[in-house]
Chains A and B, each alone.
Chain A
Amino acid sequence: MALEFDRSILGQVFDETDFPPVEKTDLLRFADALGETNPLYTDEEAAMHGPYGGLVAAPTYVTRLRPKKMTPEHMPRFGKVGFDGGRDVEIFAPVRPGDRLKMVSTIHDIYEKTGRSGSMYFIVLRNEITNQDGQKVAIVDHRIMQR
């Protein structure tokens, strides 16, 4: 039997967040917190001579951007407990110091999987991030698992 929910919620924008300009120190602290050694993310001087011509964010920096409203008001519930099931990140452009990022959040998908331990339900929240030039920076899909 197909999973029953109001399909009109798919694709509806539930949050739009404008972030303050990205600070260089924030990028450096984030890279340091991961133990990054790649000079493109850790060494401004070395990064000047790299492919981006300057310091850029470590690839998963975009996962630290949080919408004002973490979940939609009418978030469907299919189980008693929810888990962080995973993330899928597509990266289109680097994040640089001074960037003013904007994030638009939607419910992208809802689906069910049946395994040995029974049914699991997945809600995929999609965060699309653009910069001050309107350039697409990244799409971050957050898979929330309910059972």
Chain B
Amino acid sequence: MKTLYFEEVEEGDELPPIDLLLTKDFVRTYAKTAGMDFPRFTDDEGARQEGLPGMIAPGVLSMGLLARLIGEWNQAAQITRIGTTFRSPVLPDCHIHLLGFVTQKDAEQHTAECDIWMENDDGERWVIGTATVLLPTRNS
């Protein structure tokens, strides 16, 4: 965990990627914790009955993981806005990669804009998004 000040962040900086195996148990635990204990998120057979190929991860789980990506890059980055588009169902028991970089800095607001996304081993971007983070300054 580290703290990066506004002055130390540069446009183009990459956020250290998170690579993880998204297991069905991980998805089920999230779904139950988040009050989304529905068959499509917990059970292959139940999901198939809803016309899905198998259980999927809730979109907001992907969003939560992308917020975690920002927190692991910079513990002091305060997310003031995060927006995600769910482009494709996320089927668990696969490796996912969470990636991002800083696209813009605002010297007046002490904020940075980031592009963030989740992709699979083939580089397909299943979830894309952007976030605005407020950063501490050396002078404050």
Taking Cβ atoms with an 8 Å cutoff, the residues of A that contact B are 29-30, 32-41, 51, 58-60, 63-64, 66, 83-92, 143
A30 adjacent to B33 (CB under 8 Å) = yes
Main secondary structure of the interface of A (DSSP, over half): mixed
A87 adjacent to B75 (CB under 8 Å) = no
> Top 4 A-B pairs ranked by shortest CB distance?
A88-B83, A33-B33, A86-B85, A38-B71
A90: B residues at CB distance < 8 A: 80-81
Q: Which residue from B68, B80, B129, B136 sits with its C-beta under 8 Å from A34?
A: B68
Given contacts A34-B68, A35-B68, whether A59 and B33 have CB atoms under 8 Å apart is no
* Count of chain B residues near A, Cβ 8 A: 33
Main secondary structure of the interface of B (DSSP, over half): mixed
B86 adjacent to A85 (CB under 8 Å) = yes
Taking Cβ atoms with an 8 Å cutoff, the residues of B that contact A are 1, 20, 26, 29-30, 33-36, 58-61, 63-65, 67-68, 71-72, 75-76, 78-86, 129, 136
Given contacts A29-B33, A38-B75, whether A87 and B64 have CB atoms under 8 Å apart is no
A35: nearest chain-B partner, CB-CB: B68
B1 adjacent to A58 (CB under 8 Å) = no
A90: nearest chain-B partner, CB-CB: B81
A60: B residues at CB distance < 8 A: 60, 63-64, 67, 82
Given contacts A33-B34, A88-B83, whether A63 and B64 have CB atoms under 8 Å apart is yes
Bound complex: CA of A40 vs CA of B84, how far in Å? 23
A87 adjacent to B83 (CB under 8 Å) = yes
B34 adjacent to A30 (CB under 8 Å) = yes
Max count, chain A CB within 10 A of own CB: residue among B61, B68, B72, B136: B68
A59 adjacent to B82 (CB under 8 Å) = yes
